[in-house]
């Protein structure tokens, strides 16, 4: 009885927390804007895709076109150049600095994942549902048990004031790509309601390798499945000792 009450209180507290959005991409020594629906003066060099979500909430339907790059998303008209083999950083934040002073709610424990998809041409006019995503970075349970006592990738995100990092593989060919950075929150996974937060941005890879990623990757609707036990039915309030980061295998090079 006490356990069920405590669990209910934890879920209610997590529902009350604000969520977040990706405000900044940092690459090649420059900051590029992500997207904030309510921001009036958008930066002219912003690479973040726009979306119609008027709050900081998640996407829930993994089969929807909205799952690609968020609800009603549209490609940016800009690109940021980055050399293959170089790091790209992402900053998450929230407009509610009282609940989320470090860029992300503590209750929203889970994974940090980065994908890349070739546009095979112009990313500003690409069909988002046709983009094929390759995972280039993943972090989930870092240490300890797979519950609220463990250290998760989102805890490290908070430690670094909302910042996380991925590297564009050196083997990837020069060209235009969309990068998709995603957080998965597990506080409602036991109710079969994992929460997904993502932001897409256009990049142009320079000084690349030979791998065009042709024939690789999967469309967004195939990234996850409702049969993934680490997402649907998993409880972060239990006694599990391990948790495997979901999704496709990590890219290992050409």
In this predicted model, what pLDDT tens digit does every residue of 38-88 receive, in sequence order? 888 889 999 999 999 888 999 999 999 999 999 999 999 999 999 999 999
* Residues 6+ positions from 51 with CB-CB distance below 8 Å: 35, 37, 69, 70, 71, 72, 73, 74
Task: Tell me the Ramachandran region of residue 46: left when phi exceeds 0, alpha when psi lies from -120 to 50, beta otherwise.
Answer: beta
Q: What pTM was computed for the model?
A: 0.92
For the chain, list the domains and their CATH numbers: 2-222 (2.70.50.70)
pLDDT, the chain, mean: 92
Task: Give yes or no for a contact between 92 and 110, defined as CB atoms under 8 angstroms apart.
Answer: no
pLDDT, tens digit, 9 for 90 and up, residues 191-224: 999 999 999 999 999 999 999 999 999 999 999 9
pLDDT > 90? residue 123: yes
Report residue 87 as tokens.
Answer: 């790091």
Task: Give yes or no for a contact between 23 and 93, defined as CB atoms under 8 angstroms apart.
Answer: yes
Distance between CA 76 and CA 46 in Å, rounded?
7
The pLDDT confidence band at residue 99, using thresholds 50, 70 and 90, is confident
């Amino acid at each position: 009885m006490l356990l069920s009450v405590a669990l209910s209180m934890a879920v209610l507290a997590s529902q009350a927390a604000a969520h977040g959005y990706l405000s900044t991409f940092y690459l090649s020594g420059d900051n590029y804007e992500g997207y904030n629906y309510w921001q009036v003066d958008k930066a002219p060099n912003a690479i973040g895709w726009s979306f119609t979500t008027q709050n900081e909430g998640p996407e829930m339907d993994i089969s929807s076109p909205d799952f690609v790059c968020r609800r009603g998303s549209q490609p940016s008209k800009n690109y940021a150049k980055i050399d293959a083999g170089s790091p790209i950083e992402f900053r998450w934040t929230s407009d509610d600095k009282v609940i989320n002073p470090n860029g992300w709610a503590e209750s929203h424990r889970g994974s940090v994942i980065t994908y890349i998809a070739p546009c095979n041409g112009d990313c500003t006019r690409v069909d988002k549902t046709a983009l094929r995503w390759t995972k280039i970075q993943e972090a989930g349970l870092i240490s300890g048990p797979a519950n609220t006592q463990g250290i998760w990738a989102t805890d490290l995100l908070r430690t670094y004031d909302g910042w996380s990092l991925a590297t564009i593989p050196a083997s990837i060919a020069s060209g235009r790509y969309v990068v998709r950075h995603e957080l998965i929150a597990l506080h409602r996974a036991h109710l079969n309601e994992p929460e997904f937060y993502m932001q897409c941005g256009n990049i142009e890879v320079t000084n690349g390798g030979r791998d065009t990623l042709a024939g690789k990757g999967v469309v967004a609707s195939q990234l996850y499945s409702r049969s993934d036990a680490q997402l649907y039915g998993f409880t972060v309030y239990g006694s599990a000792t391990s948790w495997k980061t979901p999704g496709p295998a990590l890219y290992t090079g050409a």
